[in-house]
Amino acid sequence: MHDAPICSRSWLRRLPALLVLPALLAACSDSGSGTSAAPYRDAGPYVAGVTTLDLGDRKVEVWYPVDPGDQGSAPRDAYYIRDWLPDYIDALLPADVNPPLVTDAYRDVPASKDGPFPLVLFAHGFAAFRDQSTFLTAHLASWGFVVAAPDYLERGLASALGQQPQVRYEDVQLSRATVDLLKGENARAASLLAGIVSAERVAIVGHSAGGGSAILFGGEPDVVTFVPMSAGARGAGRDLALPDKPSLWLTGAADGVVPIDGVEQTYDAALPPKRLVVLENAGHLAPSDLCAIGASGGGIVAIAIEAGLPVPEQLQRLGTDGCQPEALDPADGWPVVKHFVTAQLRWAFGIDPRPVGLSQDAAAGLPEAPFSYDEAR
């Protein structure tokens, strides 16, 4: 048997009560391999597992905490962007063009028994897919969250390329169905996720159009916080009502798809407590894996352009914004995204009774990418 992480609940339960000193508890709430200024920038006390669930006509990817060592000799999981292409587009690409994105998670390995763990939904953007931000979803699992990302097929990559889903969900409807699916898996004795999902209170993180999903679902009674990334409150020609819930807004100052002015206007209209993190010189795809896919980056859009396939101008702009050589390398911005999203979730769920690392002071532990921070309580 391996030893549990020093800050896991199971490890703390082994100690005599008199030895669980306040200093130890404070250290556990501020743990991580980053500095004390940004304690959640690096992986947490767990390893990330990943599994795929079925939700009718679509899939849901789920990342979950695993005790270190229980991944055994399993390789790190990888995904292939061609898996989300319509058949007619896939047929046009050369057979050898299918670069993998290797993630920090391990497929179908045993879940930690330290749970139940809080449930976080992840909503992908337009012309994207459920795995688009594994740098973040696997990271959150390492910090003790179960993260569920459904395919929002109505705006997914295949849909953007002309293949519409047979069944259409509204955003809130699909998000709610995902929560219900995870509740069912938690209660099903034979499930890999049995007994590890706490879904009475949930949070939602979304990128781009998925930020709109986060805003929409953020008003649900069981949501403790919503986190829109690279997103404002306008979508599909309508203004979205802003929930009366704590929020974290994260965007890039050089976003050419959702300009920062619109994000700041939405943030100004949001109700406190609220926080805003702006990555300098970062583009629209900064909070995603997409610029890291392929030899030259930029994901399937760059791959398609290099292969000589016709790509609509709007999709070209959307699929490459933030991947340009002059933009902040998204990988340099990932520690900022990981730290602030993790810190916001831990505070909102009450894991950290007080905010930890939620201030401009976190910059001391995040030297790779300059950012500005604002908040209103």
Residue 245 is given by DSSP the state S
Residue ranges making up the domain that contains 133: 9-376
- Dump pLDDT digits (tens) for 231-250: 987 544 557 899 999 999 99
Would you say residue 3 lies in a domain? Answer: no
pLDDT of residue 32: 40
Would you say residue 278 lies in a domain? Answer: yes
Angstrom distances, CA of residue 15 to CA of 20, 31, 353: 7, 18, 22
pLDDT of residue 11: 34
- One-character DSSP codes across 295-311: TTSSHHHHHHHHTT---
> Does pTM surpass 0.85?
yes
pLDDT of residue 161: 72
Close Cβ partners of 106 (under 8 Å, ≥ 6 residues apart): 47, 48, 49, 50, 66, 71, 74, 75, 76, 77
Between CA 280 and CA 288 the distance in angstroms is: 16
Q: How confident is the model at residue 115 (pLDDT cuts 50, 70, 90)?
A: very high
Would you say residue 2 lies in a domain? Answer: no
- Dump pLDDT digits (tens) for 320-368: 899 988 999 999 999 999 999 999 999 999 999 999 999 999 999 999 9
pLDDT of residue 34: 46
Would you say residue 238 lies in a domain? Answer: yes
Average pLDDT across the chain, whole number: 86
Would you say residue 4 lies in a domain? Answer: no
Could you tell me what percentage of the chain is helix, strand and coil, using 3-state DSSP and rounding each to the nearest 5?
30, 25, 45
Is the confidence at residue 5, as pLDDT, over 80?
A: no
Judge contact between 180 and 94, C-beta under 8 A. Answer: no
Would you say residue 183 lies in a domain? Answer: yes
Q: How confident is the model at residue 152 (pLDDT cuts 50, 70, 90)?
A: very high
Neighbour count for residue 166 (Cβ, 10 Å): 7
How many domains does one find in the chain?
1
> Lowest-confidence range among 62-71, 111-120, 307-316, 362-371?
307-316
Measured in degrees and rounded to the nearest 5, phi and psi for residue 267 equal -60, -45
Of 127 and 178, more confident? 178
Instruction: List the CATH number of the domain containing 106.
Output: 3.40.50.1820
Would you say residue 186 lies in a domain? Answer: yes
**Distance from CA of residue 161 to its chain's centroid?**
24
Q: Report helix, strand or coil for 48.
A: strand
- Dump pLDDT digits (tens) for 50-95: 999 999 999 999 999 999 999 999 999 999 877 767 776 676 677 7
Is the confidence at residue 189, as pLDDT, over 80?
A: yes
